Amino acid sequence: MAHKVFKVEEYEYPELLPTFPKVDYDPYVELKVVDKGHLADPEFKSLFGAATKVDRITPDLGTEIEGIDIRQMTDEQKNELALLTAQRGVVVFRNQPATIYDMTELAKYYGPLHVHSTTGIPKDPKLNGVHIVWNDGTKPFDRINYDRSSGWHSDQTYEINTPGLTSLKVVTAPESGGDTLWCSGYAVLSSFSPQFQRYLESISALHSSDKQKAQAIEKGVYIRRPQTDCIHPVVRVHPVTGMKSLFVNSGYTRRIVGVPKAESDAILNFLFTQIAQCNEYQVRIRWGKDTICFWDNRCVWHTATFDYFPMKRHGLRATPVGERPISVEDYEKSTGKVALDWYREKMRALGEDVDDEEANKAVSKIAGAD
Ligand SMILES: O=C(O)CCC(=O)C(=O)O
Ligand SMILES: [Fe+2]
């Protein structure tokens, strides 16, 4: 079957299509980033006070806010957005005239921008910190080779400082389809037994850009920074919420370090499957004209949906990096606080209590241990 041809000259945003310049970036070194969420009013008075509607899309993650133009936010509102996204995982704004230049300015408020080493960037060098999502709608989705579980990922976890408060605007959305899903890393972790959580808290994993680089080489794309791999704790603590989040993903996590390969494979496969299957901890957002979604890449995963052939889809992402992932042990040592468990905090907020002893007993009963 002959595929239709995409004509740049007929397209609305030709200047925002991906380019692959032959430039060399320096390798990343660790950056000190202090999260703006620390400065926020926990009651969100500035942000919610100015909003006309605040809707919790699911009980556990995703909030949609109406009545705010993100270009006009005060510093107080920006700080509250950081805290809200750290708590709710995803925050959605509709009808936003903000351009990718506005989104880039806002992202810089939160931290240094991540500059990608292989994916397409707009030709304006001022936008070299922008990641482009682009599907020209000329090729049907490859159903045969698609690895379903590998769709779920968090962004660029092979870096030392991994992305934090990320925003995406789909400037050309298909008429229907092309939704994005997010899943809560806090909630998935808390769904495991206390024993298994303790094990996960004690290990680290290798994250790699290997596959992304190999794909780029296959397409003849120039690699703008040498390959980066990094070892991170499997459970990281969000510095603002103090909550533990599961931090492995099928896109970039290759190996749990220091354990037999069979154990690493079994555990990673189990975790990746859980992420894809926990629909009670997921939210699915339909893009409309001028929708902008913010997510906290430290505590959610995301995946796109390829159901829109032969329509086009074009997204622009602004990505500030956060702190180098903090393990439970380091967090507790450096702050003197106990890292929090999402489910316990949720129950506490509902006036209930959860006893680990009880949970342990329940688990051993199910396992037939007594
Ligand atoms: O296209 C999407 O919905 C998400 C793409 C993505 O993974 C990203 O921009 O990081
Ligand atoms: Fe992504």
Computed over its alpha carbons, how large is the radius of gyration of the chain?
Answer: 21
pLDDT at 258 over 90: yes
- pLDDT tier, 62 (very low <50, low <70, confident <90, very high otherwise): very high
How would residue 2 be classed by pLDDT, with cut points 50, 70 and 90? low
Q: Characterise 266 by phi-psi region: left (phi > 0), alpha (psi -120 to 50), beta (else).
A: alpha
Is residue 207 annotated as a catalytic residue, yes or no?
A: no
Cα distances (angstroms) measured from residue 353 to each of 46, 243, 278, 346 = 31, 17, 23, 9
Place of tokens 């070299």: 128
Q: Using CA atoms, how far apart are residues 335 and 216, in angstroms rounded to an integer?
A: 41
144/137 Cα distance (integer angstroms): 18
Q: Is 155 a catalytic residue?
A: yes
Q: Ligand 1 in contact with 157 (CB < 6 A)?
A: no
* Ligand 2 ion: residues within 5 Å (CB): 155
Query: Ligand 1 in contact with 118 (CB < 6 A)?
Result: no
The pLDDT of residue 318 is 98
Q: What angle do CA 220, 222, 225 make, to 5 degrees?
A: 145
pLDDT over 70 for what percent of the chain?
96
Mutation probe of ligand 1 site: the residue of 131, 133, 155, 157 with most atoms within 8 A of C-beta:
133
Give ipTM to 2 decimals: 0.99
What is the average pLDDT across 149-173?
95
Catalytically annotated residue among 88, 153, 207, 314: 153
| Domains within the chain, CATH numbers bracketed | 8-327 (3.60.130.10), 340-370 (no CATH)
pLDDT category of residue 365 using cuts at 50, 70 and 90? low
Write out the two tokens for 141.
């989705």
Residue 47 has pLDDT above 90, yes or no: yes
Task: Categorize the per-residue pLDDT at 93 as very low, low, confident or very high, splitting at 50, 70 and 90.
Answer: very high
pLDDT at position 227 over 90: no
Catalytic residue among 60, 155, 296, 341: 155
C-alpha–C-alpha distance, residues 143 and 94, integer Å: 32
Above 60 in pLDDT, residue 98?
A: yes
Nearest atom (ligand 1) to Cα of 153: 7
366 pLDDT above the threshold of 70: no
